């Protein structure tokens, strides 16, 4: 149920941003780029949400260097498809302004807060979920000695 609710929340936010930007500007590429950026950033926020979901206050968001490196690399790849002309043509994207990025950040944070609220509501009204392997799992990095 968690995956379904998160998917609905993230998808709805991306669709809302896309429709809003398309009607506000008439620019299909800008609307598409804004939606792609929002989905990507929301997923990065979700990664950290999974990291602390069951261990609030017990784990630092920045203690897993491998995760930080992966998110940084992934965000760099998102930036590349948005700002590198060769990739813009391939992905049908265009550059985003600072105000666009602030909208993406706000929408991504908003989806995280809505997700937490939805989880609390579901916990009150639905029976506990059995672990089917689809929920967030905390995986500690392997130590290399």
Q: Residue 74 and residue 133: Cα distance in Å, rounded? A: 24
Per-residue pLDDT of 94-110, as tens digits, reads 999 999 999 999 999 99
Residue ranges of the domains in the chain? 2-125
Indicate whether 139 pLDDT > 70.
no
Query: What is the tens place of the pLDDT at every residue in 24-81?
Result: 999 999 999 999 999 999 988 888 777 666 565 566 667 778 888 999 999 999 999 9
Write the CB contacts of 122 (distance below 8 Å, at least 6 apart in sequence): 1, 5
């Amino acid at each position: 149920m968690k995956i379904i609710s998160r998917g609905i929340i993230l998808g709805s936010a991306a669709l809302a941003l896309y429709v809003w930007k398309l009607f506000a500007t008439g620019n299909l590429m800008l609307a598409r780029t804004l939606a792609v950026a929002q989905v990507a950033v929301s997923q990065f926020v979700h990664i950290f949400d999974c990291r602390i979901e069951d261990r609030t206050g017990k784990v630092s968001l920045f203690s897993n260097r491998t995760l930080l490196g992966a998110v940084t690399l992934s965000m760099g790849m998102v930036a590349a498809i948005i700002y590198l002309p060769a990739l813009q043509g391939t992905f049908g994207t265009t550059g985003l302004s600072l105000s666009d990025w602030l909208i993406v950040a706000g929408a991504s944070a908003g989806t995280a807060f809505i997700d937490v609220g939805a989880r609390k509501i579901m916990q009150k009204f639905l029976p506990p979920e059995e672990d089917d392997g689809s929920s967030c799992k905390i995986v500690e990095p392997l130590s290399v000695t």
